[in-house]
Amino acid sequence: MKNEKPYNPHKKEAQLRAESETWDTSKISRATAEDIPIIDLKDYLTNPTEKKLEALAAQLLHASTKVGFYYLKGHGVSNELIQQTFAASKRFHNLPLAQKNTIKMDRADWPVGGVGYLPFHTRKLPTRKKGNANEAFLIKRQIGGGKSVTLDDNQWLAETTLPGFRQDVETYAAAIEALALKLLPIYSRALKVKPDFFTEGFTTPMYRLRMTKYPSIKAYEEDEFGIAPHVDSTFITILAQDKEGLVIYNEKKQDWMLAPVIPDTFIINTGELLRQWTNDYFLSIKHFANNNNSDTPRYSIPFFFNANAAYRMHCVPTCCSEMNPPKYPPFSYLESQASVQGE
């Protein structure tokens, strides 16, 4: 069952980009209640039992293998904290451009790439022919692998420039990381592996948090998007959005759907790392975003959650066999196409 072929992240990134440019995004429908898996954690988090865990795992398995995304409610992250974080994002994006550019991403005098201010129409994350019609602020934590990145290594504006901003961002990141870790036993049960299967790989999870602003654009140019069609490079992505604009490809219906805003929920999708870790058993969802149905900006806050940066992921044992051998050799986040994207 061993796959001796080395993993080529450059080839994988090129393949994903080429595939995305063939997707026809011209027809979009509005999601109905039947299209939207909703998973409620409240009872399980309040009083976890085997029966509740099994029920959640069954829902998660259906969402991850048949649809590609789900809404999570009863997650325990307070609405107050979520709204506080959206307010922090707006405070950042309302600053003069000159101030935001002082922490511009990938500037020559900052040793850490992929963090800081990502200007409007940048051709990065994801890289496409046209720049993405959004601007964003990004942080990441990446421990191990020869080049650790702590929260102190990110680009932050001075406290006098944006009082309380860093504290707001770090508080939210810690809360979402804690939520993501609580989901791991449910993923283990869904995949029929031991309860602590993922524990070793998530002692210091790699994550990125992105605070994105999409201006209102009534008519996008050809091949222009708020964020271009892509699949995430993550284990999972946990998204908060303040209004509609996210368009998701529903694998079950083979249809692009506008994802509604459901109060007190996050949208969660599988990324490429978990898809490959499960030998393509879990879906990696196609999606893009625009903001052409509103007179005001749209804000979103995706949290990109991954295993320890240097942890090598071997195929989940229940997802491979002699008849279905691993399609991918063991690889880590640092060896994946995410590194090629400049994350």
- Tens of pLDDT, residue by residue over 294-310, are 789 999 999 999 999 99
| Res 104: pLDDT | 97
Task: Please count the structural domains in the chain.
Answer: 1
Q: What is the pLDDT of residue 3?
A: 45
284: left (phi over 0), alpha (psi -120 to 50) or beta: beta
Helix or strand run (H / E) with residue 93: helix 79-93
For 250, list phi and psi in degrees, rounded to 5.
-85, 110
The reply to whether 2 falls in a domain is no
Has residue 2 got a pLDDT over 60? no
CATH of the domain at 216: 2.60.120.330
Q: Give percent above pLDDT 90 in the chain.
A: 72
Model confidence over 189-219: pLDDT tens digits? Answer: 999 999 999 999 999 999 999 999 999 888 8
Q: In the prediction, which pLDDT does 1 show?
A: 42
Would 101 be classed as within a structural domain?
Answer: yes
Please provide the average confidence, as pLDDT, over all residues in the chain.
Answer: 91
The tokens describing 257, both together, are: 């759907």
pLDDT score of 9: 67
Sorted by sequence, the CB contacts under 8 Å of residue 202 that are 6+ apart come out as: 181, 184, 307, 308
Of the pLDDT bands very low, low, confident and very high (cuts 50, 70, 90), residue 342 is low
- DSSP assignment of 157-207, as one string? --TTTSTTHHHHHHHHHHHHHHHHHHHHHHHHHHTTS-TTTTGGGGSS-EE
Confidence of residue 343 (pLDDT cuts 50, 70, 90): low
In a domain, 3, yes or no: no
Confidence of residue 130 (pLDDT cuts 50, 70, 90): confident
Query: What are the structure tokens assigned to 9, written together?
Result: 């992240």
In a domain, 4, yes or no: no
Q: Are 101 and 119 in contact (CB under 8 A)?
A: yes
Task: Please say if the pLDDT value at position 173 is more than 50.
Answer: yes
User: DSSP code of 49?
Assistant: -
Residue 234 has pLDDT above 50, yes or no: yes
Within a domain: 243: yes
Residue 21, pLDDT above cutoff 80:
no
pLDDT in tens, 266-294: 999 999 999 999 999 999 989 999 998 77
Instruction: Give the range of the structural domain holding residue 149, as residue numbers without chain letter.
Output: 9-340
**Between the CA atoms of 53, 57, 59 and 62, what dihedral angle is there, to the nearest 10 degrees?**
-170
Structure tokens at 74: 């009863």
pLDDT value, residue 14? 73
Residue 133 above 50 pLDDT? yes
Confidence at residue 218, expressed as pLDDT on a 0 to 100 scale: 84
Strands 298-306 and 236-241: antiparallel
**pTM for this model (two decimals):** 0.94
User: Which pLDDT tens digit goes with each residue over 6-20?
Assistant: 667 667 777 777 777
In the three-class reduction of DSSP (H, G, I as helix; E, B as strand; rest coil), residue 81 is classed as helix
Residue 151, φ and ψ in degrees, nearest 5: -65, -25
pLDDT at 146 over 50: yes
Asked if 231 contacts 284 with a C-beta cutoff of 8 angstroms, the reply is yes
How many H-runs (helices) and E-runs (strands) does the chain carry? 8, 13
**Is the CB of residue 41 less than 8 Å from the CB of residue 57?**
no
- pLDDT (mean) for 71-85: 98
Residue 283 CB neighbour total at 10 angstroms: 22
